Amino acid sequence: MKDSARGLLLVISGIVLLSFDGLLVRLVQADGWSIVFWRGLLMFIALGAFSLSASSRASLRAKPLPGAASAVLLALISIFFVLAIVHTTVANVVVILSTAPLFAALFTRFFLREAVALRTWLAIGVATLGIVLVFAGSFSASDLLGNGYALLSSAALGANLTLLRRHSSLARMPLIALGGLVAALIALPKAQPFGLDSASYLALGIMGLVQMPLATLLINSATRYLPSAEVALFYLLESVLGTLWVWYVLNEVPATATLYGGALVIATLLVHAGCTLRARPALPA
């Protein structure tokens, strides 16, 4: 399998899983810091035992500073995302997260000196227009705080994908586990985690033990095979899928503009994926 095909399979699978994140956070009846605590702690529990292999430890010892930076960035992504969902609508959050490809492309260009393909810049522009169409008119002044959290999460996401692209030998699983632990420790002083109902604990369990660890592992692993800007581009697909899950589960019917914009995003990603597969030859065995 070509490296590009492997990377596309990883990132698309991860994004589909990740697209349930906003819905699961909405289903938890708790304050933002309690959600961050349980989400991070459960991710650490889910992946910590698998992060103790000799190769994982050697990877972190070889590059301690990039590893620590990635763990902190992962924690910030999680914290800012949850706080954004708590303070504003899911629609606002996912549209702002669609700026992650722009951050990743800029970080890749100016910090890694890695050229960003013209097809990627064009795809970012067209898909962003689709996202604007999907969520046209959804912002208001009262959402400013949540919008700010979402923008910080997007910037941290782009930075982490770029960092992992630069240090491709870093083992992903221990970084995700450490990122969860860092997020839980930051949230603990402000959290009230032990007064939730059973439905909230169930949603947190699915989120922290299965959905987020697996989604993050798949997406971060894709940076071994694709530039960070191309990986981040697929977060635009999360915006569309996340809207569909909320529509189905919470019966929030999207406007016609949402359907047209979502179709534009998906079509753009399909064209971009096809161009990527043709443009990248398979590496010799």
Residue with tokens 């991860």: 14
**Distance (Å, rounded) from C-alpha 179 to C-alpha 216?**
11
The residue count of the chain comes to 285
The confidence band for 284, taking pLDDT boundaries of 50, 70 and 90, is very low
Q: Would you say residue 218 lies in a domain?
A: yes
The pTM assigned to this predicted structure is 0.80
Question: What pLDDT, on the 0 to 100 scale, is given for residue 1?
Answer: 63
The confidence band for 31, taking pLDDT boundaries of 50, 70 and 90, is very high
- Whether 167 has a pLDDT exceeding 50, the answer reads yes
Question: In the predicted model, what is the mean pLDDT of residues 218-224?
Answer: 86
| Encoded tokens for 273 | 């994926």
Q: Would you say residue 251 lies in a domain?
A: yes
Q: Would you say residue 233 lies in a domain?
A: yes
Q: Would you say residue 123 lies in a domain?
A: yes
Q: Would you say residue 37 lies in a domain?
A: yes
Q: Would you say residue 284 lies in a domain?
A: no
Q: Ranked by mean pLDDT, which of 97-106, 196-205, 244-253 comes out on top? A: 196-205
The confidence band for 137, taking pLDDT boundaries of 50, 70 and 90, is low
Domains: count for the chain: 1
Domain region containing 19: 3-279
Question: What pLDDT, on the 0 to 100 scale, is given for residue 244?
Answer: 83
Question: Among 38-42, 138-142, 253-257, which stretch is predicted with the lowest mean pLDDT?
Answer: 138-142
Q: Would you say residue 108 lies in a domain?
A: yes
- Whether 70 has a pLDDT exceeding 60, the answer reads yes
Q: Would you say residue 285 lies in a domain?
A: no
